[in-house]
Structures are given as structure tokens and as C-alpha cells.
Chains A and B, each alone.
Chain A
């Protein structure tokens, strides 16, 4: 398991990164934390001609807050998301999800931007940014643009990031009054990719659901919102009945593929269980 040969270039600015990509005659990849790219290289599943090391690009790392919300630099490492007081205050869903991301040593190098750019449908952060209604800041030849998380995930491992573009930051709107968040997943072992995971972001007043976004992992090619279930819940009193009807509504939202270990039916069942448990947890917190 040794990677094919490639050239390597370290860049220190976004402009330099984009220029390096544009000038590469073959295939180029941006290298951030490398925690998903390196296995792919070692396994020769991916074999680019050029790796552009962006890990030391100025200004792409760290967390800041403004009136428009939280800004997390794409190079912010999982461990930094996990420990950031700003994230805990302004986007606690991410703080809750971070411990589920792989293992400590992976979290020490892996970056949130890397996770979102790869867009593994089993990963935790993609569901979180979907649930948080976050936006993604993407730099390209024509400057910086932002895309809403709802429009960002396109297909399996495919996002709105075009060739030669670079994800630079994640923008999370400020929490609303009454916001309740929850993250949970069902994984065979601690740190494994989940059979199913769920990020919930809701606004609840006196057990009345004002807003809710439900984003599942591992139920399809991309992190998936359960919009029918959301619609069932919005405007209702959060209780056993509402939860049951949201669980039933998942049939309209999800159609997970079966694998050799987990059939489609089992995954669907587990998604319903997880939804029920997560909503009940919100309910408990609300009381």
C-alpha cells in the first residue's frame, strides 16, 4: 500500500492555491488534513499528479463570530471544533457531533473543510451544516461565492465545489431564541462510520415546534434532510403522537440502499428509532 508518485507544492494563500491548481496540466488535489485523502492515495484509489498543500494557508483556520453568525475556517481541525468555546456557544450542534468524528488522532489532523469537501454521506459534519442551514464559502477564479448547504451536496462525493475551486469557510447563522439541537448516531463501534446518524436543529417554544431541520447521515448518496417529517412536526406540539407521525413520514423522505451488513429495511427502521430518540431527547431538554 504505497501511493503512486505525485508532485507536491505547498501554498500559503488562497490565490496561490487556485493558481497552482489552474496551472497543473494533470490532476491536482488540495491537501488539507489529509485524513481521507491519504488512505485513498495509499490504496491507489486516487492518484493525482499534483498535491497542493493548503494546510498552511493564512486565514483559513480558526473560528470567529459576528452579527451574521459564526465563521469557521475550512482548515479548522476537528479537535479545534470540538474544543472551541465559540462553537459551543454559537453552533453547539457541531460541538455535540465532533466527539463522534472518528478517533482522537484523526481529529487532531482532519479538518472540517476537508470533511465537507469530501462529503462522505456517512460523516457527521455534513449533516450538521445541513441541519444548521449553514452556508459554504467557496473561492474560485471569479472570487468568493457562497452556497447554502441545501444546495451544496450534489451526489455521492460530489458537491457544488467546481474544479479548481476551494472551500474556504463555513458560515453558520446565529442561533434563534429557543433553539434546540441534538446529534446522535448508531455505529457498531465508537468512532466507526454510523449505520445511521441524525443532526437535529429546532426552535421550540413551550414544546411547540416553530422550526425544525432533520439531517440524516448514511441513508443515501448525500446527507439527507427529512423534509416530510420536518413538515409534520412544524407547528405541532412535540409529543408522542407528533413523534410517531414524524417517524412514519420518514418513509417519504428516505430510501436507503441495502448493503451486505445492513439491509435497506434495517437502516430505515434504525433511522426511525433514532429520530424518535432524538426528538424525545429534545423534549426532555425543553422541560
Chain B
């Protein structure tokens, strides 16, 4: 049995300190140790995107990262992004467009969408699909997801234009 390691991680804006086994993935740390079950396990090999979280502002697979690697870093999960309102427009658009069914892939998809729109501008539908290339969705057929992201991109662009 390997020794436990102390880690300090900023999770959704709060500092969390825990002792963890080195083999514990960030995914299992968030879900099991912190009860942040909005991050989902889908494949545990970085293929499906259900476990995406935002690490230092960038989407990463929490299944492909050890909790110990997140020491001293900042992680945001769907719970944090929901509570701070930063993706409220995306969530509203997904709701209106029914861009989700079972909802299992949805937190990961939202984190991808957030990254995809983070640079501003209105990406083309192909660019949105390209950004989603690592997010499996088995229910929707993707079109509604692309629609919802596109709507938010246009809305944000219009708002940015309006505020000039």
C-alpha cells in the first residue's frame, strides 16, 4: 500500500485539503471524496468526455489526471460553473432547445461549449462540431447541441456588439 499524499486543491473557488492515495484519479476524488457527482465516469480512458472539468480554465479529462496532479491547482466542475452563473446562458439555451436527453454527457458537453466560446466570436457549425469531437452523446444526435451553442455564440456576440 502506497502512502497517502496531502493535496490542496481549489475546487469551485474553495480551498480543499485532503489526504489521497496517489492512484486516485481526479474524477474519483471529485465524485467520491467531495461528492461532486455532476462529473461523470464514462470510459476512464479519455475517450468520451463525460468527465470533463475545467482545470486552470481549460477543459481536461478528470479520468486522465490524478488527484495529486491537481495539487495547488484550480478545478471547476459543473456544480461550480452552475452556481457562479458563468454558463447560465448555455444552460438556458440547452434547456430551450432540448439539447440533452439523459443528461449524462451534458456536464462535459457544457464544459466543452464553454471553452469553445471562450475566445469570443461566432464559430461555424463545423467548428462547433469539431470542438465537440471528444464528447460522446448517445441520445441527441448532436444537432440540438450544436444549435444551442450556436445560439449562445450569436447572443454573446450581439451583446458584445451592443455594449460597444
Residues of A within 8 A of B (CB): 1-8, 10, 31, 34-35, 38-39, 41-43, 51, 53, 55, 79, 102-106, 108-109, 189-191
| B60 CB contacts on chain A under 8 angstroms | 105, 108-109
Picked from B55, B59, B69, B131, the residue with its CB within 8 Å of the CB of A53 is B69
Counting chain B CB atoms within 10 Å of each CB, the highest count among A7, A55, A189 belongs to: A7
Q: What's the dominant secondary structure at chain B's contact region?
A: mixed
CB <8 Å contact, A35 and B46: yes
| A41 CB contacts on chain B under 8 angstroms | 23
CB <8 Å contact, A103 and B22: no
| B21 CB contacts on chain A under 8 angstroms | 5
State how many residues of chain B have any CB contact under 8 Å with chain A.
33
Instruction: Give the complex CA separation of A42 and B25 in angstroms.
Output: 9
B34 within 8 A of A: no
Q: A99: shortest Cβ distance to chain B, in Å?
A: 8
Instruction: Give the complex CA separation of A103 and B22 in angstroms.
Output: 26
Picked from B23, B25, B66, B133, the residue with its CB within 8 Å of the CB of A104 is B133
CB <8 Å contact, B25 and A105: no
Q: B81: shortest Cβ distance to chain A, in Å?
A: 15
CB <8 Å contact, A38 and B65: yes
B158 within 8 A of A: no
Instruction: Give the complex CA separation of A216 and B64 in angstroms.
Output: 28
| A10 CB contacts on chain B under 8 angstroms | 68, 71
B61 within 8 A of A: yes
A–B Cβ pairs within 8 angstroms, 30 of them: A3-B25, A5-B21, A7-B2, A8-B2, A8-B22, A31-B69, A34-B66, A34-B69, A35-B46, A38-B46, A38-B63, A39-B64, A42-B25, A42-B63, A53-B68, A53-B69, A102-B46, A103-B49, A104-B59, A104-B115, A104-B134, A105-B60, A105-B112, A106-B61, A106-B64, A108-B55, A108-B58, A109-B60, A109-B65, A191-B133
